[in-house]
Amino acid sequence: MLAFLLHCAWACIKAGHGTLFESRVANDVVGFTFHSLLLLPYFSWRATHHAHHKATGSVERDENYVPYHRADYGLPPARVARSADYAEVFEETPLWTLAKVLTMCIAGWWMYLTQNAMGAKMYPKGTNHFSPGSPLFKPHQRPLILLSDMGLVAVFGLLWVAARYVGWAGVARYYLVPYLLTNHWIVMFTYLHHSDPTIPHYYGPEWTFLRGALATVDRPLLGWMGRFFFHNISHDHIAHHLFVGAPFYHGPEITKHIKAVLGDEYNYDSTVRQFLASASPLELVITRTRTQNTFYAFWRSFTQCLFIEESTEGGIAFYKNGRGEAAREVAVGAVGLLQNGNQEKQADVATA
């Protein structure tokens, strides 16, 4: 049952992007059916996911995993913040952190759908994926949002009928447990696509579609099993954002060319890069074992990607950890030099 639900989730993603079939109607029928079986509103998700692709990495307009700000935690400004200020907010036992991780994995998807948790900050409280009048949707999308809700009601009805035959314990065993595990994998995939200490987020005019698409992460999630069973969903995620209409089986070929063009700027899982820089053979073995673990990558992002600054050099922000430290920072004056260089190039072209 878990394998079936996971493949439902994969088919939903591809159908929502219009890459499962050539026919849009066929994509929508399959996407609506499988999404409903997962108790997820298909047309609602499709609308906000398309918006996410159009604004990936934009602090103001992205729809998913939008970073928290310093003010969200009640922290003082960076220039006066002390170690004790950060410790008071972020210091906690590993067991409590693990409980928060499990809560996010199990309930995070529904918290996003029902409360817009970690969604775009431009929407008011109460924003959700189920109300046709939600500010997430345009007026012409509202009938399809209602249809998505009707699909969920139908599946709840099927579960009630199933409970009459196998009991609620049977429904929990054969549907609820696989369903919660499916939610876990959905959250883990998507969170690791867009959360890493090395990737930037952009304010205002600094954001462009290309910058946003490149501010994602390719990861060897679950190794060969992740590539085979989850159809390159994490191994080739940058390719997916650059060429959203490309079928999944072209992902490895596209990624090969992206690597050739970007070189060192290609954003690969930074936990894997750590072992490449290890000094001693012993350190290499220890770090290799640790860094190729998908769950370690998730733990590191969860504990290190805590907030970004509201005001940054050149409108580019990187995640900061529980000590107020960023793994990367924009070099002072670098943005201005780049902008001046671009203006000079444009002037040369205009006078040529």
Task: Please write the tens of the pLDDT for every residue from 288-335.
Answer: 444 457 888 999 999 999 999 987 778 999 999 999 999 888 876 665
Side chain identity, residue 185: W
Task: Tell how far CA 344 is from the center of its chain.
Answer: 36
Q: Report the pLDDT value the prediction gives residue 314, as an integer from 0 to 100.
A: 81
Average pLDDT for 58-77: 94
Across the chain, mean pLDDT equals 85
55 vs 230, residue with greater confidence: 55
Closest-CA residue to 270 (of 218, 333, 194): 218
Identify the CA nearest to 28 among candidates 6, 44, 51: 44
129 touches 44 (CB < 8 A): yes
Q: Quick check: 5 pLDDT over 70?
A: no
Judge contact between 332 and 313, C-beta under 8 A.
yes
HSE-up (13 A, CA, CB side) for residue 44: 27
| pTM, two decimal places | 0.85
Q: Is 62 left (phi over 0), alpha (psi -120 to 50) or beta?
A: beta
Asked if residue 207 has pLDDT above 90, the reply is yes
349 or 209: whose pLDDT is higher? 209
pLDDT band at 92 (very low <50, low <70, confident <90, very high): confident
Q: Tell me, what's the pLDDT at 192?
A: 94
Tell me what pLDDT residue 319 has: 96
Write the Ramachandran bin of 65: left for phi over 0, alpha for psi from -120 to 50, otherwise beta: left
Lowest model confidence (mean pLDDT) among 154-163, 197-206, 227-236: 227-236
The parent domain of residue 248 ranges over 2-351
Q: What pLDDT is stored for residue 333 in this prediction?
A: 64
pLDDT at 55: 96
Q: What is the mean pLDDT of residues 225-243?
A: 89
Task: Specify whether the CB–CB gap between 283 and 166 falls below 8 A.
Answer: no
Total domains in the chain come to 1
What pLDDT is stored for residue 272 in this prediction? Answer: 74
Higher-confidence residue: 295 or 13?
295
* Choice among 59-73, 191-205, 311-325 with the minimum mean pLDDT: 311-325
Look up residue 37 and give its amino acid.
Answer: L
Least confident of 55-69, 114-128, 262-276, 292-306: 262-276
pLDDT of residue 242: 95
Instruction: Note the pLDDT tens digit of each residue in 134-152.
Output: 999 999 999 999 999 999 9
